[in-house]
Amino acid sequence: MEIRPLRTEHDLERALQRIEALWGAPSKSSKGDELDVLAALVEAYERKHYPIAFPDPLQAIKYRLQQQGKDYRALVGLIGQRTRVYEVMRGDRPLSLNMIRMLHAKLNIPAEVLIQPARKKHSMKLKRRRVRSIEGRAVRKLA
């Protein structure tokens, strides 16, 4: 097969079919080299066209704790006292640089994941305030 850059989905499909045909080829052979080059091209194409977003930092922490069979209590002392841990895990308080360093070192969570801002959940209190505010404005306009 002539190896060319992957520019379209059709090129990607052809490369994947060729990879499947070459799968298991001995390394350091011409077929093994072709397999390595095609795999690198497919990886680069997929990284560019189908990027995988980092997970939410809080979800990554929860997942790592679950993997280790631990709960939030394992974070006490690591990122602060019990109340600080629950504030962070509820999304009320952002991770500080020291917290990120500790979580990276102790739980092996990539720093790139932890430095992102946590995705805020809109609480019911906030929604209720907005509704009351909108209702109040409507009542004032009518009066």
Average pLDDT over residues 19-41: 91
Average pLDDT over residues 98-118: 92
Question: Does any domain span residue 123?
Answer: no
pTM above 0.85, yes or no: no
Tell me if 133 sits within 8 A of 91, measured CB to CB.
Answer: no
Average pLDDT over residues 28-35: 90
Average pLDDT over residues 74-89: 94
Average pLDDT over residues 73-81: 93
How far is the CA of 77 from the CAs of 46, 123, 134, in angstroms? 40, 27, 43
Rounded to a whole number of angstroms, the CA Rg of the chain reads 25
d(C-alpha 76, C-alpha 74), whole Å? 6
Copy the structure tokens of residue 129. Answer: 């305030």
Per-residue pLDDT at 137: 56
Copy the structure tokens of residue 79. Answer: 């990122």
Q: What is the phi-psi region of residue 101: left when phi exceeds 0, alpha when psi lies from -120 to 50, beta otherwise?
A: alpha
Return mean pLDDT, the chain: 86
Residues 61 and 96 occupy one common structural domain: yes
Per-residue pLDDT at 27: 85
Per-residue pLDDT at 53: 87
Tell me if 45 sits within 8 A of 12, measured CB to CB.
Answer: yes
Residues 77 and 43 occupy one common structural domain: no
Q: Kindly tell me if the per-residue pLDDT of 127 is higher than 70.
A: no
Structural domain including 30 reads 9-49
Within a 13 Å sphere around the CA of 89, how many CA atoms are in the beta-carbon half? 20
Residues 62 and 110 occupy one common structural domain: yes
Query: SS3 for 57?
Result: helix
d(C-alpha 13, C-alpha 10), whole Å? 5
Per-residue pLDDT at 134: 56
Q: Kindly tell me if the per-residue pLDDT of 16 is higher than 90.
A: yes
Question: Does any domain span residue 129?
Answer: no
Residues 69 and 92 occupy one common structural domain: yes
Average pLDDT over residues 118-125: 59
Domain count, the chain: 2
